[in-house]
Amino acid sequence: MIRFLTSGESHGKGLISIIEGFPSNVPIDEGFINSDLKRRMGGYGRGRRMKIESDRIEIFAGVRHGKTLGSPIAFLVQNRDWVNWTDIMSPQPNPKGAQKRLVTRARPGHADLVGALKYSFEDMRNVLERSSARETTSRVAVGAFCKLLLAELGIRIYSHVISIKDVHVSPEQLEAVSIDKVPQIESSALRSCDPSLDEAMKAAVDGAIERGETIGGTFEVRVLGAPVGLGSHVHWDRKLDGRLAQAIMSINAIKAVEVGSGLDTDPYGSEFHDEIFYNADKKEFYRRTNHAGGIEGGTSTGGEIIVRGVVKPIPTLRKPLRSVDLATKEPFKAQYERSDTCVVPAAAVIGEAMAAIVVAQAVQEKFGGDSLPELKRNVKSFQEQVRGM
């Protein structure tokens, strides 16, 4: 199984990742991976940190002459801002100046207080450095590796923003979304499939900036070309929709996940469920609708997989919220550290990465294979088996 670990703090030297169980002979395009890292840093409403960093991976192991070896892949993304934090983030004991930046004031909505209580920290910087969304840089890079693997199998993944605060893509526009719209989505400052909404979405962000506020929204990730049979109904932890939901929910600021039309409670059952048909010429089952989001009984149907993430307004505000000091127990208004106003477009890119990781794991679980050629043979054999049923 493909597994990965990430290590590193927001203002540490860098972010280190290791991917284990990745098949051999998968062509690796560093430019593609770096472009996904750049996409994560974009979007209207991002903060100053995005102007400081210029994320690129440096591969240390597991890739030779442009292809994976089947051994663990190790790579680094350096933090350029580290030069300004060498004393504060030093691994050495009692570094000069570190006490001046002791963090004891917990910010509501962050992991600061619960992390300090759980791990017995007096300085909450030990928590906020790791709980920072900076860690998702590693996940986007891991997801890009998985996208390259999935692309070899004809599986493609893209995302777009459905809403920013109270500005929503219309149901008609949502119905018309397809992978052909990716260039249009990527050219939008808010990664919207409807360019007519760009100015309204920007205005919502600008209004929040003026108020010292932050705003959230919703994004959608779509997976094309996933074969039938990924995931399983036999155990709770093998259900593909459950695994996708957990992966999307693990992204910073995500507070709800929807698969297909899962949050639409208005239709009757006869209107909601996707009726099944059979194409005798292609020898395949198909559905004319996709309310299930490409997953039934925890298993992929062969249709487009659709999963959405709901992003809360991030909690780092210039308009301070009330809290309590960990050391003195005195009330105060939460301090502000540079941050974003709206992260929905970036969260969508991270959502792509997490979906790619889960689907790649499910593919490997279903089809096995130590190398890409073996994996391709196994997928082809299963597809022929399904057509013969």
To 5 degrees, how large is the angle CA 332–CA 335–CA 336? 155
Question: What's residue 339's pLDDT?
Answer: 72
Question: What's residue 217's pLDDT?
Answer: 97
Question: What's residue 93's pLDDT?
Answer: 87
Contact between 352 and 358 (Cβ < 8 Å) = no
- In degrees and rounded to multiples of 5, residue 313 shows phi and psi of -60, 125
Residue 356 vs residues 51, 222, 350, 360: alpha-carbon distances, Å: 27, 10, 10, 6
Contact between 334 and 103 (Cβ < 8 Å) = no
Q: Residue 348's closest CA among 292, 308, 312, 313?
A: 308
Could you give the CA distance from residue 152 to residue 321 in angstroms, rounded to a whole number?
48
The angle, 0 to 180 degrees and rounded to 10, between the axes of the packed helices 30-41 and 344-367 is 140
Residue carrying the six token digits 């004393």: 87
Return the H-helix or E-strand segment holding 322.
strand 322-324
pLDDT tens per residue across all 389 residues of the chain: 899 999 999 999 999 999 999 999 999 999 999 999 999 998 888 766 555 668 999 999 999 999 999 999 999 999 999 999 998 999 988 777 666 678 999 989 999 999 999 999 999 999 999 999 999 999 999 999 999 999 999 999 999 999 999 999 999 999 999 999 999 999 999 999 998 999 999 999 999 999 989 999 999 999 999 999 999 999 999 999 999 999 999 999 999 999 999 998 899 999 999 999 999 999 999 999 999 999 999 999 999 999 999 999 988 777 778 999 999 999 988 766 557 899 999 999 999 999 999 999 999 999 999 999 999 999 999 999 998 88
- Going by C-beta distance under 8 Å and a sequence separation of 6 or more, which residues neighbour residue 222? 157, 158, 159, 177, 179, 304, 305, 306
Question: What's residue 97's pLDDT?
Answer: 66
Residue 194 vs residues 159, 171, 172, 201, 371: alpha-carbon distances, Å: 13, 11, 10, 11, 40
Question: What's residue 269's pLDDT?
Answer: 95
> Which domains are delineated in the chain?
3-387 (3.60.150.10)
Structure tokens at 271: 């209107």
CA 262 to chain centre: 20
Q: What is the DSSP annotation of 48-97?
A: THHHH----EEEEESEETTEE-SSPEEEEEE-GGGGGSTTTT-SSSS-TT
Question: What's residue 338's pLDDT?
Answer: 59
Question: What's residue 255's pLDDT?
Answer: 96
